[in-house]
Structure 1
Amino acid sequence: MSENNQKNTQQENPEQNVGRLRQVRRDKLAELQAQGKDPFVIVKYDQTHHTKEIRERAEELETILEVGEDGRTITPEWDTIPADKIVSIAGRMMSKRVMGKASFCNLQDRDGRMQIYVSRNDLGEEAYADFKKMDIGDIIGVKGFVFKTKTGELSVHAKELTLLSKSLMPLPEKFHGLTDTEIRYRQRYVDLIMNEDVKETFKKRSAILREIRNFLAGRDFMEVETPMLVENAGGAAARPFITHYNALDEDRKLRISLELYLKRLLVGGLERVYEIGRVFRNEGTDPRHNPEFTLMELYQAYTDYEGMMELTESMFRYLAEKVCGTTQIPYGDHIIDLGKPFERLTMNDAIKKYTGVDFDAVKSDEEAKAIADEHHVEYEDRHTKGDIINLFFEEFCEEKLIQPTFIMDHPIAISPLTKKKPTDPEKVERFELFINTWEMCNAYSELNDPIDQRERFAAQDANAAAGDEEAEHTDEDFLNALEIGMPPTGGIGYGIDRLCMLLTNSPSIRDVLLWPALKSQDK
């Protein structure tokens, strides 16, 4: 039974029919192998063009077909076509229409689709019969010339057609595509085949990373790599993943941040460094969080958090123009304006703006907790005024921050690696950029006082002893590096996945990760 004759059966009994169709394809493969035409022995194909290039160079590549006295087009002889007009393209067959002695199929490569005209007169009886047995999903190579059909569609007239790989599993039914979200994430390879917008999202993600590197190269930054398996997972408040290093018979942690090793490089005299890399945080998943995600951190000697604000605003504007072609970025129901100056608010001013509470006038932890009780903000006994300020901001302010806004001057209690503000020792020189209610990056005037740093690590150790699984721990080697001497430094960390969500108008972080975290299928 052929696949074409099973369309109705497939619609009525999809699970049962998939197994039958797989067997049909295996039988076709066995027949090809018996005839000495095994596609899997082919090791290469001379691909000279892609579909996008053919469309862009259509005027140059097109062969104009002559029309005979009877009104029919005359196919030119192969040896009369100039060599520079012959194209070889390769890709997946996405549709096929067999019409006696001549047929059409659609080939999809990395750039898009192209109609292929296939005739028995050009291929010969045997090759044309082989083509008719090919299935949707097969990977083929086509050598021929470019022309326009009577309807004006740019096409490739096949002079040679080669089966390069046999698809043994049917693709999803073409009219409905692949829509099951769970299957899309698990079988991203099928998602990329069936959904062109998904492929474009990941092309744009690649462009974003490329342009980030271009931007930073223009500012004389050096890209580096630091360890993923570490003894002390520091630089952020997060619970790490733990693994065992067999050769050393020691436990190691997967890094939760890039910070502490990059700062060691500034001690070593590398004044502008950055890393784009995976970090791992043992936490749940939601539309903005994945336990394995891409972080970029950069550090610049002899500047502060004001310098990081300028760099960030300039880089976001640059990326929008380069990748999207505009600084007016559509996201959901909003147009995010990356072209105008970003708003700047202290955390306390933001709270005052949206709740009327002025934490600058609050003098004690007890007073802060009383205000939290009045506003039904939950907190823990160990929390200080600084912790409660942060809880207030998360509860009442984040959801209001749609347009780009720098939130500055955080409480010292939630910023263990940041320099104090000279004018207010309860605050630190830190900012977070919020866009569309999301934290997009986190930046500091970096703490380079080893004595102050040791005291803050001690406070974090106390929090850990009290049961805080996300608290940092004292890192003696990092303290030793600071004692060698680190220059005044501005530093920042960017969530690359959220940036990709913003610039691709993607509603979930899973839509910009090729393989997001999912439960095992058997669970």
Structure 2
Amino acid sequence: MSESTTPQTTFAPAPGYRTDSVAVEVKQAEDGTQARLAGRVVLWRKLGGLVFGHILDRSGRVQISLRRDDLGTEQFNDWSRSVKVGDFVGVSGRKYITNKGEPTLAVTDLTVLNQARRQLPDKWAGITHAEVRYRRRYLDLISDSVSRDRFRTRSRAISAIRRYLDGLDFMEVETPILQEAASGAAARPFITHHNTLDQELYLRIAPETFLKRVVGGGLERVYEMGKLFRNEGSDPSHLQEFTSLEWYAGYWDYRDNMRVVRDLILHVMEETLGTTVVTYQGTELDFGADWPEIDYREAVHARTGIDLTEVRDLPALRDRVKIAYPDSDIAEAPSYAAMVDLLYKRTVRPGLIQPCFLLHHPVELAPLARRSDDDPTRLDMFQVVVHSWEIAKAYSELVDPVDQRERLMEQMAMRDAGDDETMMLEEDFLEAMEYGMPPMSGLGLGIDRLIALLTDAPNLRDVVLFPAMRRDLG
């Protein structure tokens, strides 16, 4: 560069900085374009009378340069010494291409907006310890473009979900997070105390019973996306605090939801990734192919030799499990429903890799689901399973208050017998059902699991900005 310039500088934090460009726009601009942008310095390399740096902003990173021949010795020395990696700067200059073909902004004006007091992670090594990445996510985002892209994908996917449901005339609503009963799913709740009301409340394990109340009130298609809380163990596919989508539609049944959830997932993939085929941990997953329908009890029978249509009580099932799996803890499950669920999860689910529908669960497994007219011992229900992860569950909803009360009473009996993952009885919910509810079907979809599959994240913590961690004792 040979153009003569009169540089200006500010060496104090500024209250604000107006920009007219972001990094990606500078890189795409024509040579000679004047630009003004701001961001964090993530590289700062001095080569005699030349400095090359990289600025990171919300769109990505772009190279900048300072030349002593253009700025003069005093100005060049001041700027090159005052800036370090981690600082925030605002710069103005002219875009050009280096001899190596790198789009670069030749700086003519530089403002130090704020200085970093701690050293950033090494730009090449990044953060290699998983716990540090999760606990100090801001450092992970600074140093790892893959992590930044995952959260951009998450945001785009959530927006695509909302647009899709809005297009089907659904309305987004909000229901309580603090609830008087832990209901809507089989899970152990978190308990808290409400000082003003002087009563124990539960962090919601599901919004189901409240969303059904809304449908009963005449808002026939509703959805909610938000946090759920289940006080259970965590592993790469389970978090105690997670994001879920639930929707309910009057006059739909579970077959309607089978069609809609598949279409929704394919829509989200096309919108965010431009493809319906992804590779997850080395395995190609083709969401665009047909999703086979797998009968729950038939799959368990084929894998274990235990026929759940005949083995219908806890003592009989325990005896069969002890014979088939003498070294397993499956037989220690506290209830028939818990043992059936554990048996399926240990034997069938690991083999379900490509997207599929798992259908017609035993009636004991979902007390809020409608019995099948063809066989009242099974449910009009399905789950979407991918790579052995259950990412969605749906059923035709039970709207008969008499049957509902009986099944919730069975849940309470199992709770009294030691199964603390059963549902509680909600009198207000049963009262709402007695006023009448339309036939309906609801669906729950795990947002974190879906995003993990779409972004090849091995652990749900990789797609949650600030996952709960054990207290840092260091």
TM-score, reference length from structure 2: 0.93
Q: Compute the displacement of 1:395 (Å).
A: 2.1
Instruction: Answer yes or no: is the 8 Å Cα contact 1:351–1:397 preserved in 2.
Output: yes
1:360 is paired with a residue whose SS is coil
Rounded Cα–Cα distance in structure 2 between residues aligned with 1:369 and 1:260: 32
2:36 is paired with a residue whose SS is strand
- Tell me the percent identity: 40
Q: Compute the displacement of 1:353 (Å).
A: 3.3
Rounded Cα–Cα distance in structure 1 between residues aligned with 2:210 and 2:71: 62
* Aligned-CA RMSD value: 1.9
Instruction: Answer yes or no: is the 8 Å Cα contact 2:10–2:111 preserved in 1.
Output: no
Q: Write out aligned runs for 1:380-419 (5 A).
A: 380=332, 383-384=335-336, 387-419=338-370
Greater RCO, 1 or 2 (C-alpha within 8 Å, sep 6+): 2
Rounded Cα–Cα distance in structure 1 between residues aligned with 2:10 and 2:112: 13
State the match for 1:38 in structure 2: 12
Rounded Cα–Cα distance in structure 1 between residues aligned with 2:461 and 2:334: 35
Rounded Cα–Cα distance in structure 2 between residues aligned with 1:387 and 1:179: 38
Correspondence 1:501 to 2:457 = no
2:124 is paired with a residue whose SS is coil
2:331 is paired with a residue whose SS is coil
The 4+ residue runs of structure 1 with deviation greater than 6 A are: none
State the match for 1:328 in structure 2: 277
State the match for 1:467 in structure 2: 418
Q: Compute the displacement of 1:121 (Å).
A: 5.1
2:153 is paired with a residue whose SS is helix
Q: Compute the displacement of 1:46 (Å).
A: 0.9
State the match for 2:465 in structure 1: 514
Which range is displaced more, 109-118 or 387-396?
387-396
Q: Compute the displacement of 1:152 (Å).
A: 2.2
State the match for 1:312 in structure 2: 261
1:313 is paired with a residue whose SS is helix
Instruction: Answer yes or no: is the 8 Å Cα contact 1:387–1:411 preserved in 2.
Output: no
Q: Compute the displacement of 1:132 (Å).
A: 1.7
Unaligned runs of 5+ in 1: 1-34, 64-84
Structure ranking higher in helix proportion: 1
Q: Compute the displacement of 1:37 (Å).
A: 3.9
Rounded Cα–Cα distance in structure 2 between residues aligned with 1:118 and 1:126: 12
Q: Compute the displacement of 1:245 (Å).
A: 1.4
- Counterparts in 2 of 1:260 and 1:120: CA distance versus 1, 3 Å: same
Unaligned runs of 5+ in 2: 1-8
Instruction: Answer yes or no: is the 8 Å Cα contact 2:297–2:362 preserved in 1.
Output: no
State the match for 2:5 in structure 1: none
- Counterparts in 2 of 1:387 and 1:191: CA distance versus 1, 3 Å: closer
Rounded Cα–Cα distance in structure 1 between residues aligned with 2:120 and 2:332: 53
Rounded Cα–Cα distance in structure 2 between residues aligned with 1:320 and 1:349: 31
Aligned residues: 462
Rounded Cα–Cα distance in structure 1 between residues aligned with 2:247 and 2:377: 26
Correspondence 1:48 to 2:17 = no
Correspondence 1:128 to 2:76 = yes
1:417 is paired with a residue whose SS is coil
Rounded Cα–Cα distance in structure 2 between residues aligned with 1:393 and 1:381: 13
C-alpha deviations, 1:410-465, integer Å up to 9, x for none? Answer: 11111110111111111111111110011111111000011111111111111222
C-alpha deviations, 1:192-235, integer Å up to 9, x for none? Answer: 00111111111111111111111111211111111111111210
State the match for 2:374 in structure 1: 423
Which range is displaced more, 245-254 or 410-419?
245-254
Counterpart residue identity of residue 383, structure 1: S
Instruction: Answer yes or no: is the 8 Å Cα contact 1:348–1:389 preserved in 2.
Output: no
User: Match for 1:303 among 242, 252, 268?
Assistant: 252
- Counterparts in 2 of 1:151 and 1:388: CA distance versus 1, 3 Å: closer
State the match for 1:161 in structure 2: 110
Rounded Cα–Cα distance in structure 2 between residues aligned with 1:297 and 1:180: 34
Counterpart residue identity of residue 398, structure 1: R
- Counterparts in 2 of 1:224 and 1:241: CA distance versus 1, 3 Å: same
Correspondence 1:484 to 2:435 = yes
- Counterparts in 2 of 1:295 and 1:364: CA distance versus 1, 3 Å: closer
Q: Write out aligned runs for 1:209-220 (5 A).
A: 209-220=158-169
Rounded Cα–Cα distance in structure 2 between residues aligned with 1:368 and 1:194: 52
User: Match for 1:97 among 45, 64, 78?
Assistant: 45
User: Match for 1:114 among 62, 68, 71?
Assistant: 62
TM-score, reference length from structure 1: 0.84
1:312 is paired with a residue whose SS is helix
Which structure is larger by alpha-carbon Rg, 1 or 2?
A: 1
Correspondence 1:254 to 2:203 = yes
2:218 is paired with a residue whose SS is coil
Correspondence 1:453 to 2:404 = yes
User: Match for 1:379 among 331, 347, 350?
Assistant: 331
